[in-house]
Amino acid sequence: MTNRIAVQRDFSGGEISSRMLMRADTALYQKSLLQMVNFYPTLQGSAERCPGTRYLYEIAAQNARLIPYITPDNKRGFVELTPGALNIRTG
């Protein structure tokens, strides 16, 4: 017996809520995922990887802690905690 692998190419529905799990008959269900980790859907329907913080800023400290957050105007940012400083960065 062969295994059938379904390939999903449209992710424009994003992450589906638990209330929609039993609605396999809808078009939104066919375009959605249960969980999308380190990816985000584009307007065209494909999925792209989320960029990492290593592309945003150079951090000089070897032992820094980064805490992600979203600003009130929906911009992504993070708090950089080092032994001698606290920096707030927005992308």
Query: Where do the structural domains in the chain lie, given as residue ranges?
Result: 7-50, 52-91
Residue 55: its pLDDT value, please? 59
Indicate the DSSP class of residue 27: H
**pLDDT for residue 54:** 58
Alpha-carbon gap, residue 2 to 63, rounded angstroms: 50
- How much is the mean pLDDT over the chain? 81
The stretch 63-86 carries a mean pLDDT of 86
Q: What is the pTM of this model?
A: 0.45
Predicted pLDDT of residue 59: 75
Summarised one tens digit per residue, pLDDT across range 40-71 is 778 788 888 887 655 566 777 778 888 888 88
Both tokens of 89, joined, read: 């960065």
Look at residues 49, 91, 45 and name the one whose alpha carbon lies nearest to residue 71.
91
Phi and psi torsions of 32, nearest 5°: -115, 170
